[in-house]
Amino acid sequence: MNIGEIARRAGVSRSTVSYVLSGKRAVSATTRQRIQAVIDELGYRPNASARALKEGRTRTLGLVIPPASQRLTDMQLGFVASVVEAAARHDLDVLLSPSGGDHDRSFERIVTGRRVDGVVLMEIRLTDDRVTRLATAGVPFVTIGRTAEPHGMSWIDVDYATLISRCVHHLADLGHRQVALVNRSAELVAAGYGPSHRALAGFRAAVAERGLAGVDVCCGDDTASGEACVTRLLADHPQVTAVATINEAALPGMRRALDAAGLAVPGDFSVTGVAAQHWAEDFHPPLTAADVPMRRMGAEAVALLLELIAAPGGTPRHRLYAPPISLRSSTGPRRPG
C-alpha cells in the first residue's frame, strides 16, 4: 500500500496525503479526517523516511569507530554489534563512520551533514578533539569511554583502574610477588588512550600497595604481537610468574609463548585480566577475568543518547562498570622456588 492508493480512495492529491503524514502544511480538519479514515482502514504504516520527515529527525544514529584501516578487536566489534542491536529495538538505523587519519572527513560529515540525530563515539582518548568538536557543534552524543575531564558529557566506561587493581590483588593473594601488565599498543598509549592509562595507573597502585615487583609492557592487538611480547617478557624478566592484561586480542599469542617456554598455566604461570566473556571462556584454560558486559553497555549508550535527543540540554549522565572478577582456571598459587 502506498500514498497514491490512499490519495485515490480519499479523493485527494498525493501531495495532500503527504502534508497530512508530515505535518508540514495545514490541511482542513474534514480532509484530514477523511485521509486518516482511509489510513486506518488500510492499516497503512508510513515508512521510515516519512516518519522521519514528520518528526523532523533522521531516525538514524551515528556510531564513530576506529579507522577502517585498523583491524577492530573482538571487544570493539562487540560494542558495534550491541549499539546496532539496541538501535534496531527502537526502530533506528545506525550509520558507521570511521575517524582518525584519512577518515576525518567522514567524521566531519557526521557532525555537519544533519545525517544523524545523535552520535555514539567509541575509543576515547584522555584528550579527544572529536568530543570537543561534537560539543561545539551541539550534536547530542554519548561516549563509550571518557576523557580525562568528562564533566558535562554523557558516557559509559569500564573501570579499568579498579579491575586491573583487583587482578593484581588476586595474584598477590595467590603468592605471586613479581607480576606484569600486558597493556595495549605503544601507539595507543602515546596517543592518550584512556583504558591503557587507567589500567596502568591501577596496576602501579596495586603493585605498590602489595609491595610487589611489577613491570608493564605494551603489546599490539593481535596474536603475533602477543606471542612476541610475552616471549620478550620472559627473557627480560624471568622472575615474573603472572600477568594481568587488558589486551584480549593478544591472548592467543600470549598462550602460545607460554607453551613454547614450557610453562604450564596455572601450574607455573598465572594469567588474568579484563576481557569479553567468550574470549575468557575460550582461553585455555578458561581465563580468570573481569567480563566486560558489552551488550549491556551498548544498550545503555543508546538509551542515554535517546534521552539527550529527546531532551536537549538535559543533565548529562554516566555509568562506570566494574564487574566482578570471574574466577576460572588460569590463575593458581605461585609454585615455590
Q: Label residue 304 by pLDDT band (50, 70, 90).
A: very high
- Our separate counts of H helices and E strands in the chain read 14, 12
Q: Are 147 and 88 in contact (CB under 8 A)?
A: no
Query: Closest Cα partner for 21 from 37, 43, 34, 3?
Result: 3
**What is the structure's pLDDT at 47?**
57
Say which range, 37-51, 103-117, 184-198, 239-253, has the weakest mean pLDDT: 37-51
Cα–Cα–Cα angle for 151, 98, 226, rounded to 5 degrees:
90
Q: Label residue 70 by pLDDT band (50, 70, 90).
A: low
**What is the structure's pLDDT at 219?**
97
User: In the predicted model, is pLDDT for residue 72 greater than 70?
Assistant: yes
**What is the structure's pLDDT at 101?**
63
- Cell 591501577 -> residue: 202
pTM score, whole prediction: 0.82
Query: Closest Cα partner for 72 from 123, 106, 111?
Result: 123
Cell numbers for 198, please give them. Answer: 587507567
**What is the structure's pLDDT at 239?**
97
User: In the predicted model, is pLDDT for residue 44 greater than 90?
Assistant: no
Query: Closest Cα partner for 162 from 216, 203, 112?
Result: 203
